[in-house]
Amino acid sequence: MRVGARTTAGRAACPGCGCRSGRIHGSYMRFPRDLPTAGKFVVVSLRMRRFVCEEESCERRTFAEQVPGLTRRFGRRTERLRSTLVPVGLALAGRAGARMTDAFKASVSRNTLLRLIASLPDPASAAPRVVGVDEYAQRKGRVYGTVLVGVEIRRPVDLLPGREADTLAAWLAERPAIEIVCRDRAPFFAEGATRGAPQAFQVADRWHLWHNLGEAAEKCVCRHRSCLRPAQEQPEESQEEPEPTASSPWPTGHRFAERTRTKHATIHALLAAGHSKRSVARQLGMTLNTILRFSRAASPEEMFTGQWQNRATRLDAYKPYLDQRRQEGCTNAWKLWEEIKEQGYPRG
């Protein structure tokens, strides 16, 4: 549905200098979209006039008039439609907001909603009392900056180029109302906060507190690893379970060993009941070669032969030393490799 309209004001104000002019240069047509009416698509066919600015010092030669509350410069939607789409974009953002606009017949793309949100002016906020300081990476390992967050309003306040103490100190010096500075252990942030806001109380933020506590606890556990791992008593095994042979690399309770023993018992039970090997393979969903290997093994321990536990490696002679160093709390693989290399471990 198209609604025709035209402006009738005798004079208009120049957006450049504010001087009102009544000298008409020409007219043109605009077709801004409006809110739907009775479920129908509405377009306003609006004839606009272009005025000549009569102020000689103004840089603008001509300017187009705007209808307050209806149009804005370069706007393709009326202010009514714009004021309806902006809350949808703020609440649901891109794709979800675009799906919601289909419900009231004012379909727009997700990018249009994001552009509307980006064009909004920043909300005015009071000077922060508690500010958080941290670094952010524009190019990780190369270009860094400093982000300042209002802790009480939970919103970024400013971005500073670089992460030098002088930049932070100058920013804090312009805001004497800051009482608390939350920061990490970076020395340049500590120096900048001390110089720029000597009246502020410096604290560590919650994430760094938990992170530092976790590191301290981990170091303490590593130092006392031998005390925290006493020798465990072997549980009494049930007499109903068959004891694994001494040559078995997998003890009772190992999930792979128990799975192999279960398969072995099931396959031999089916073969003893008169089923063929191909029939057993179809019932259990295994290949015929797997059934043949299990059927040839008199006990499940024969399936464990050739496992990696029985293979000799060049590291076997150094395993007692590595276990001892691990009990002492050394978990750095590179340092352990350097130590056993000095004892004769081959370099390659």
pLDDT in the model for residue 38: 78
Q: How far apart are CA 264 and CA 44, in angstroms?
A: 82
Angle between helices 333-342 and 319-327 (to 10 degrees): 140
pLDDT in the model for residue 230: 54
Look up tokens 């393709």; give the residue: 76
Q: Write the burial class of residue 275 (CB in 10 Å: 0-12 exposed, 13-18 middle, 19+ buried).
A: middle
**Candidate ranges 103-112, 274-283, 294-303; pick with highest mean pLDDT:** 274-283
Look up tokens 């130092």; give the residue: 223
Cα angle 151, 153, 158 (rounded to 5 degrees) comes to 70
For the ranges 82-86, 190-194, 325-329, which has the lowest average pLDDT? 325-329
* Best CA proximity match to 146, nearest among 186, 199, 204: 186
Domain limits of the chain? 2-76, 81-118, 130-208, 255-309, 312-348
Residue 246 has pLDDT above 50, yes or no: no
Q: How far apart are CA 266 and CA 204, in angstroms?
A: 62
Averaged pLDDT for residues 77-105 = 87
Long-range pairs, 80-83, Cβ under 8 A, ≥24 = 80/34, 80/35, 81/32, 81/33, 81/34, 81/35, 81/106, 82/116
Provide CATH code, domain 130-208: 3.30.420.10
End-to-end CA distance of the chain: 81
β-strand 33-37 against 40-52: which pairing, if any?
antiparallel
Task: Give 8-64 pLDDT, tens digit per residue.
Answer: 777 888 888 888 888 888 888 888 888 888 778 888 888 888 888 888 888 888 888
pLDDT in the model for residue 253: 52
Token readout for 31 is 């077709």
Selected residue with higher pLDDT from 251 and 116:
116
